[in-house]
Amino acid sequence: MLDTAHRLAQRRNVITSLPGPRSAALAARRKAAVAAGVGSSVPVYAADADGGIIVDVDGNSLIDLGSGIAVTSVGAAHPAVVAAIADQAARFTHTCFMVTPYEGYVQVAEELAALTPGDHEKRTVLFNSGAEAVENAIKVARLATGKSAIVAFDHAYHGRTNLTMALTAKFMPYKANFGPFAPEIHRMPMSYPYRDGGLSGAEAAKRVISRIEVQLGADAVAALVIEPIQGEGGFIVPAPGFLPALADWAARNNVVFIADEVQTGFARTGAWFASQHEGVVPDIVTMAKGIAGGMPLAAITGRADLLDAVHPGGLGGTYGGNPVACAAALATLATMRELNLPARARAIEAAVLPRLRALAEEVGVIGDVRGRGAMLAIEIVRPGTGEPDPVLTKAVAAEALSRGVLVLTCGTYGNVIRLLPPLVIEDDLLDDGLGVLADALRALTR
């Protein structure tokens, strides 16, 4: 049990049809003002959020099983984070670290050096988004190695900027007609136990390594960038041994091993970082999402010799490491430690996984149940086949929403329902949310 008090009642309560009239009115205004290319998972507009609850503009209280895509692990308005933001904002909101530096940035860098895997000497740079962190990790790797080829993986998601679009695997909606893309990105097969015929981690790694050596040559490769558990691609947990084998190969070949922990970081998977589940020590870790309780902040932390290879002025940005975001991050990390959120994520896994497995036995459309900590998913398929069923997946998410539970979908084939509850969600609320999801699935598969 968590010992936290919440400002909003932690109870699901649907009082209008969804979307309600106020959300519908906002949707109409939005259509005339916001570009059509920006999507939203649900058509309800938020008015308030706290703990595991989002209250919409019509007064409906929805259970949040998405955390704004794995961001609000400590909740969307944790009092310690709110106070730190207010205090810093009242002093100064910005000076630009590249103009007049401040302590908060240095403190966040010290914290990240201590938290990320490995006890080697580390350096950190702060940015605004996950994509920007990944871009910069690659800048560092190329400069430090003097090489240019980058290895990315099937089902990968690394962002929407030009370089990170090139790294991202899925065409629609992320890449379609947005090219030309950055060169020297080479895609390799991922370990995907449910869909690769059950290759062991060692076999899947061997397949990658031999392809790199035959098609690229290790001498050309600057970096290998991989999500230790793939997020947008479908919460794909590679077979045990896959990540360590790739990391070993990278270390032996002067290839920078970049772990993209933007989605998996900060207690989400039951460890501070997902790399730790297999004892992998990345050369550079990219981070964002959970780091600052909802404020935009991202980081790369990595080997000092790599990061310090870059000439002064080679890395930065006007807003990177904004002081308010840094204050939020320090309060968020302190809160995560105080509440022992890695243990909380493991407790969520222990409570949820068996229920998802039982549901899979019952409904017959769940091909795979997987994930770690509070990053869990079900893959929806046509019964008896492994064929993805994105239509049913979407319908289940819509049905859950109509009953007051917000769940996100993901996956290369659009057929994965992913659970990313705030780590501070109360047991009863999580239980109710899962019950609703199960009922939605039952209702649509009867």
Residues contributing to the site for ligand PMP (CB under 6 A): 69, 129-131, 134, 157-159, 227, 231-232, 260, 262-263, 288
Sheet holding 149-153, edge to edge: 122-127, 298-303, 284-287, 256-260, 221-226, 149-153, 185-188
Nearest to 2 by CA among 73, 85, 86, 70: 73
Write down the least CB distance from residue 164 to ligand PMP, Å: 7
Decide whether 262 or 381 has the Cβ nearer to ligand PMP: 262
3-state secondary structure of 376: strand
Distances (CA, A) of 29 to 20, 238, 281, 393: 15, 43, 48, 29
Write down the least CB distance from residue 129 to ligand PMP, Å: 4
Residue pair 281/125 in contact (Cβ under 8 Å)? The answer is no
Decide whether 159 or 320 has the Cβ nearer to ligand PMP: 159
Residue pair 283/249 in contact (Cβ under 8 Å)? The answer is no
User: Is residue 173 reached through a cis peptide bond, with omega within 30 degrees of 0 on the bond before it?
Assistant: yes
Write down the least CB distance from residue 46 to ligand PMP, Å: 18
Distance, in Å, from the CA atom of 346 to the CA atom of 293, rounded to the nearest integer, reads 20
Decide whether 299 or 341 has the Cβ nearer to ligand PMP: 299
Distance, in Å, from the CA atom of 264 to the CA atom of 372, rounded to the nearest integer, reads 9
Nearest to 268 by CA among 353, 407, 352, 376: 376
Decide whether 50 or 261 has the Cβ nearer to ligand PMP: 261
Write down the least CB distance from residue 128 to ligand PMP, Å: 8
Write down the least CB distance from residue 173 to ligand PMP, Å: 13
Write down the least CB distance from residue 102 to ligand PMP, Å: 23
Decide whether 157 or 399 has the Cβ nearer to ligand PMP: 157
Q: List all residues 6 or more positions away from 319 whose beta carbon is below 8 Å from its beta carbon.
A: 94, 96, 128
Write down the least CB distance from residue 233 to ligand PMP, Å: 9
Write down the least CB distance from residue 444 to ligand PMP, Å: 27
Write down the least CB distance from residue 298 to ligand PMP, Å: 6
Distance, in Å, from the CA atom of 245 to the CA atom of 238, rounded to the nearest integer, reads 12
Decide whether 68 or 75 has the Cβ nearer to ligand PMP: 68
Distances (CA, A) of 24 to 18, 324, 394: 9, 33, 20
Decide whether 159 or 342 has the Cβ nearer to ligand PMP: 159
Q: Which two tokens stand for residue 109?
A: 């860098």
Tell me the residue nearest to ligand PMP as measured from the CB. 130
Decide whether 157 or 272 has the Cβ nearer to ligand PMP: 157
Decide whether 134 or 315 has the Cβ nearer to ligand PMP: 134
Distances (CA, A) of 219 to 146, 255, 408: 10, 8, 40
Residue pair 272/284 in contact (Cβ under 8 Å)? The answer is no
Sign for the CA dihedral angle at 264, 270, 272, 278 comes to negative
